[in-house]
Amino acid sequence: MTPLLAVVRARLERLFSDPVRLVPLGYAFYVTLGWGLLLLPLSQREGAVTTWLDHLFTTVSAVSTTGLVTVPTGTAYTGAGQFVILLLMQLGGLGYMTLGSFTVLSVTGRLPALREKVGATALSLPDGFAVGSFLRVVVLFSLGIEALGALTLTPVFAARGVEHPVWEAVFHSVSAFCTAGFGLYGDSFESFRGDLWLNTVISILSYLGAIGFIVAADCWAFVRGRKAWLTLTSKIILVSTAWIVVIGTLLFATTEPSIAALPPGERWMTAFFQVMSASTTVGFNTVPIGALSASSVLLLTIAMIIGASPSGTGGGIKTTSLTALWAVMLAVARRRSQVRFLHREVPDARVRAAVANVTLYSLTLCAGIYALTLVETAPVADLVFEGASALGTVGLSRGITGALSATGKFILIALMFLGRVGPLALGMALVSRSTLDDTNHPEEDVAL
pLDDT digits (tens, 9 = 90+) for 80-102: 999 999 999 998 887 644 554 44
- pLDDT of the residue at 250: 98
3: number of Cβ within 10 Å: 7
Residue 221: is its pLDDT beyond 80? no
Query: Distances from the Cα of 290 to the Cαs of 65, 106, 377, 397, 413, in angstroms?
Result: 22, 47, 16, 7, 21
Mean pLDDT of 62-80: 95
Task: Check whether 37 has a pLDDT greater than 90.
Answer: yes
Measured at the CA of 440, the angle between CA 438 and CA 443, to 5 degrees, comes to 135
Least confident stretch, 110-124, 160-174, 180-194, 362-376: 110-124
Is pLDDT above 80 for 12?
Answer: no
Higher local confidence (pLDDT), 5 or 352: 352
Long-range contacts of the stretch 328-336 (C-beta < 8 A, 24+): 328/355
* Residue 52 pLDDT greater than 80, yes or no: yes
What span, in angstroms and rounded, lies between the C-alpha atoms of 31 and 58? 10
396: which residues sit within 8 A by CB, 6+ positions away? Answer: 67, 181, 277, 278, 283, 285, 289, 300, 304, 385, 389
pLDDT for 327 equals 87
Q: Does any domain span residue 440?
A: no
353 vs 292, higher pLDDT:
292
List Cα–Cα distances, 56 to 285, 372, 404, 406, 407, in angstroms: 24, 19, 15, 11, 13
User: What mean pLDDT value characterizes the chain?
Assistant: 84
Instruction: Identify the pLDDT of residue 177.
Output: 94
Mean pLDDT of 101-115: 46
Asked whether residue 345 is assigned to any structural domain, the reply reads yes
Whose CA is closest to 179, among 66, 340, 306? 66
High-pLDDT (> 70) share of the chain, %: 81
- Checking 134-140 for CB contacts under 8 A at 24+ apart, the result is 134/213, 134/217, 135/98, 135/101, 135/102, 135/105, 135/111, 136/102, 136/105, 137/213, 137/216, 137/217, 137/220, 138/94, 138/98, 138/102, 138/213, 138/217, 139/94, 139/98, 139/99, 139/102
Q: Is 435 a domain residue?
A: no
Domain-embedded: residue 144: yes
Residue 174 resides in a domain: yes
Q: What is the C-alpha separation between 289 and 395, in angstroms, rounded?
A: 11
| Overall domain count for the chain | 1
Predicted confidence at residue 436, as pLDDT, reads 52
Query: 425 falls in which pLDDT band (50, 70, 90)?
Result: low
Return the half-sphere exposure (C-beta side, CA atoms, 13 A cut-off) of residue 258.
16
Q: Which domain holds residue 324?
A: 3-430
Q: At what angle do helices 131-159 and 79-94 cross, to 10 degrees?
A: 140
137 has a pLDDT exceeding 90? no
What is the pLDDT, as a whole number, of residue 405?
Answer: 96
Q: b/e string for 29-51 if b means 16 or more Cβ within 10 A?
A: ebbebbbebbbeeebbeeeeebe
Alpha carbon distance 249, 164 (integer Å): 33
Closest CA to 298 of 419, 383, 373, 385: 385
Rounded CA gap, 4 and 341, in Å? 53
Mean pLDDT of the region 186-197? 93
In a domain, 168, yes or no: yes
Model-level pTM?
Answer: 0.87
* 438 inside domain: no
Q: Which residue has the higher pLDDT, 114 or 264?
A: 264
Residue 261's pLDDT band, with cuts at 50, 70 and 90, is: very high
* 405 falls within a domain: yes
Strand-pairing partners, residue 344, are 341
Q: Tell me: the pLDDT tens digits for 274-332?
A: 999 999 999 999 999 999 999 999 999 999 999 988 777 788 998 888 888 888 888 88
